[in-house]
Structure 1
Amino acid sequence: MHPTDLRIFVAGHRGMVGSAIERRLRSLGYAEIVTRTRAELDLTDQAQVRRFFASEHIDQVVLAAAKVGGIYANSMLPADFVYENLMIEANVIWAAHARDVDRLLFLGSSCIYPKFATQPMVEEALLTGPLEPTNEPYAVAKIAGITLCASLRTQFGRDYRAIMPTNLYGPGDNYHPTRSHVIPGLIRRFHEARETGAPEVVIWGTGEPRREFLHVDDLARASVHVMERPRSEFDEVLGGTLAHLNVGTGVDLTIRELAGLVAGAVGFEGRLEFDPTMPDGTPRKLLDVSRVTALGWNAEITLRDGLRSTVDDFMLQYAARSGAVDPLGSTP
């Protein structure tokens, strides 16, 4: 079978990450891409997932489906985040194994690493210290997904791989006022402040934490690149003992610097005020990307270029939903 003839199930294809991976696969000639909306297949329902795999004859899986959100959403809905992500991962990964799907890619997050991990964070830092409390439920669920993939590799020889991207942004993001991550949240707030003529925007925290940001199209390239590598090459890069691989740019900046760049991209010229009474989260999150670089992949999209395309996407979505009660209020 030619690689592009593989039937690949992209779980979560309507989200920012899943849609970018689907676009990448199609651009490379993969034609047999299987997708389902949540209305068609509830991934938290074990029976539905089992029936899907029994009927679809899937060759490979990309598991990009997840319940995601920023600090506020994680703080307000911790039970939802841990339950839904655990159910999605357990159902999809185990059903794939039960139907003899030998290769699967699980999308995790850099929040799996300890709050005070040595920077930049290497893959071996997993489970070496306490997590950041504000997103611990989500992180625990992602760690469970990694562990399940690694355990199936060990016990059954499955070629199940996991990649841990740094903070993501890009077209198709969720711009909800309370459930979004930092970049889409700032884009919306700066746009609304500019539209109303507000003299300032107040941003949570001190602005001093450092973060790394990866454009979703770069992640899509990395995802397909990692999936296409022979198992021997993947195992060699990871030393034969790990199942997860960091994906990022290897470059970080402060939230204060980021806010200035986003304000400039949006065209907001007012003051940026920081509220130190609100949580900062982890002081620094920078991934060691030496292993994925050794596998032959590097990020290509600069933060400035990526912000421009993301602001353009926001404006298109905002214009399309301008008549709604809460434009851009739904999670993709």
Structure 2
Amino acid sequence: MDPEHPEFEEQPEVKDGRRFYGIATAQVVKTADMAEEWLATKGNLRDKQRDMYRSDLRRFSERFPYVEDVTRRAATQWVNDLMAGPDGLSQKTVQRILAAVRGYWRHLENMEVVPAEFDPFKGLAKGSKGSSNGQRGSRFDRWRVFEPDDVVRLLRAAEAKGDAKLAEVIRLGMWTGCRIEELCSLKVENVHDGHFEVIDAKTEAGWREVPIHSRLAPIMAELVKASKDGFVVSGLTRNKYGDRSNAVGKRFGRLKTALGFEERFVFHSIRKTVVTQLERAGVPENVAADIVGHDKPTMTYGTYGNRNRLETLKEAVELLAYDDGTPGFSPQKCEKVL
């Protein structure tokens, strides 16, 4: 083709030739070239978060091998593909990926690799205005809720398999609404008379006191007494990040799949079971939020409201009910209005 032809520059072989020349003369930069350099500046990152950032940047550089490939249109399409493609990532996960990518992009700006005025990621994957919590507005809504009878079936299946630790975690979750990592990291020293403390939670709202249901109290006491390592769920192994919930969480995944529950049922679905029971019982949303560690649902509760008294939370928790064969079960109990 004549070099003067309008479409000459768009020919694949011409583009490849120019890119080869740009790489050879250091005018074209591979997207991944400075990733480790940037990660080295993030001295405050935990090992797990550092590995997540590294994985996020690897995903980014696989889609955009060279910095010059990153355009606003291409970035928008990439984000759409992340959420609607085969992986079907949640908005929260995509936001996390973009947080890492934006941080790296700012590093490239500072190194004068990309122009400072060019931000191809501005406004992408923003949460909806109607969501009070990024998690609850995205992945939280994708997770399905177990009915109380389903939770009991999971518990009995874990016991039948002889997986005592998984059964302990399920039992703790169904009476408290705690996250699996909160339960697996709960220390004996944080269990008190009638309640326990969740510390080092993901959010400020997650730091809380959780009442111990009367049906859970004797089991909690036994776990505390039997602990060999200072944790309520004793004897769990840690992964390379120090996470005690990883292995037992995978066993839960295999268990629920074997029982026929699809992928949107996860351990967090037990947390939704608790929230749903409280809602059905007429428990005020701000009380339920204090129990499970959610952000307060309205500006009034969130900005001006104090945490509810432990006695109030205890009354609400006692409304949880499961037909698990334990004496004292009352099907009408969960319909009581606080």
Report which structure shows greater RCO (CA 8 Å, sep ≥6).
1
TM-score by length of 2: 0.24
TM-score by length of 1: 0.24
Considering fraction of residues, name the structure with more strand: 1
